[in-house]
Amino acid sequence: MASPATPPTIDVPASSRTVQVSIIDSGNINGLPVSLFMGPDIPGFETINAVIFTFLIEHTDDAGKVSRVLFDLGMPKDVQHDLAPSQWDLVTTFNCTYDITKYVSEILSDAGVDLNTINAMVWSHPHLDHVGRPSLFPPTTELIIGPGVLASEKGGYPGNPESIILEREFLGRKVTELDFTSRPFKIGDMDALDYFGDGSFYFLSAPGHAPGHINALLRTTSQPDTFIYLGADSFHHAGELRPHKYHPLPEKVKLASFSPFPCLGELFHKIHPSSQVDPGYAKAHDDPKATPFYSISEKEDGSSLALDKHAARETITKIQSFDADENIFVVGAHDTTLIDYVDIFPKKANEWKAKGWKEHSRWQFLRDFENPLSLAHS
């Protein structure tokens, strides 16, 4: 096994304050082409079924006042009418299916959460599977967005024909665009904002995927400190994040419903892009034990789904430092392999470390490569 590199210290300011975190399973998008998001191609794994996680975050201040924040709103139930026409065209072009039976507002209400108690809702970025339906929430619920989103959307469709968001989603409520230059400091080399001012909830600038793309770091326990990292769409599959130099692929991997069990890590070397020459990805796949299987995809002309593929790749590199910390649980918005290992809303996620979620789920994304392995070793 490759020797792990020493990760940089994630220097989070000391605090005894925490937030309560719930992971909401808001639905699925099925049959998405893998090559749209990541590459080089691994034959036998051409489409992906992606969960859509959103998050309910609850904060209690010194006076006992509870504030509730939603991080992402998932995909709206009626995509054809809840978003600008271009987004319905996008769904039909990709020939994917989606399973969205409830708006996030309905999921909350059905669990007894009064929507009037939701103080703010956050878009990690303005893509169709994250923006939901803000207009279903009371006008007292603030909408928080990342830098540059107001400029990119210009008020929404149809006033701005280029916008992917309907005007109604902005109207009649406070819209706050985050400014990471106002009180600049960094956590793990990422620009950060202390949302509640007490070290319990940090917004992190995570550029590259889309305008105003943001992540979050949530303190889930203190003494000892543990955190959940909300990665949004910084990566769409854990194979873009792992393995990495801080956490190389082990000699043996235990994968649920996978034969052989446990399997040898070296079985995956043959399908790893380190065996390919693909200079277009501008990334050295020189060690299959310590290099992610995927990078942000790009076409032959260099174009990419990512707004800035270089910045997006750099963001993933920064997240690897968080992923290397055993006290930080990185959760991507579409990491379907986590479903079998985490507690879903209305349950809380704060005891993730005590329950072993990170160690049990870390390599489960490799299950997606069972068919590629069969092809490669046949």
Per run of 10 residues, the mean pLDDT along the chain (length 378 residues) is 78 96 97 91 93 98 96 95 90 87 98 98 96 97 96 91 93 95 90 97 97 98 96 97 94 84 86 63 66 89 87 96 97 96 98 97 95 85
Cβ atoms of 330 and 352 closer than 8 Å: no
Does residue 282 sit in helix, strand or coil?
coil
At 276 the pLDDT is 56
At 285 the pLDDT is 54
Rounded Cα–Cα distance for residues 70 and 147 (Å): 18
Q: Which amino acid is at 263?
A: C
Question: DSSP characters for 339-352?
Answer: GGTS-BTTS--TTT
Rounded Cα–Cα distance for residues 141 and 117 (Å): 8
Rounded Cα–Cα distance for residues 186 and 297 (Å): 28
At 214 the pLDDT is 98
Rounded Cα–Cα distance for residues 294 and 79 (Å): 29
Whether the predicted model's global pTM rises above the 0.85 cut: yes
Burial of 114 per CB tally in 10 Å (0-12, 13-18, 19+): exposed
Rounded Cα–Cα distance for residues 239 and 291 (Å): 9
97: phi then psi, degrees, rounded to nearest 5: -120, 160
At 51 the pLDDT is 97
Residues sharing a CB contact under 8 Å with residue 295, sequence separation 6 or more, in sequence order: 38, 39, 40, 240, 281, 283, 313
N- to C-terminal Cα separation, the chain? 25
Rounded Cα–Cα distance for residues 280 and 47 (Å): 22
Rounded Cα–Cα distance for residues 89 and 43 (Å): 28
Domain boundaries, the chain: 20-237+326-376
Cβ atoms of 128 and 87 closer than 8 Å: yes
Lookup: tokens for 350: 């704060």
* Residue spans of beta strands (DSSP E) within the chain: 20-33, 38-39, 47-60, 66-71, 97-99, 118-122, 142-145, 175-177, 186-187, 190-194, 201-205, 214-221, 226-232, 252-253, 263-264, 295-296, 328-332
Q: Which of 299, 271, 289, 296 is nearest to 368 (CA)?
A: 271
Q: What is the DSSP letter of 79?
A: H
CATH topology of domain 20-237+326-376: Metallo-beta-lactamase; Chain A (3.60.15)
Rounded Cα–Cα distance for residues 257 and 340 (Å): 12
Alpha-helix residue ranges (DSSP H) falling in 6-103: 34-37, 79-82, 85-94
Say how many C-beta atoms besides its own lie within 10 A of residue 118's C-beta: 21
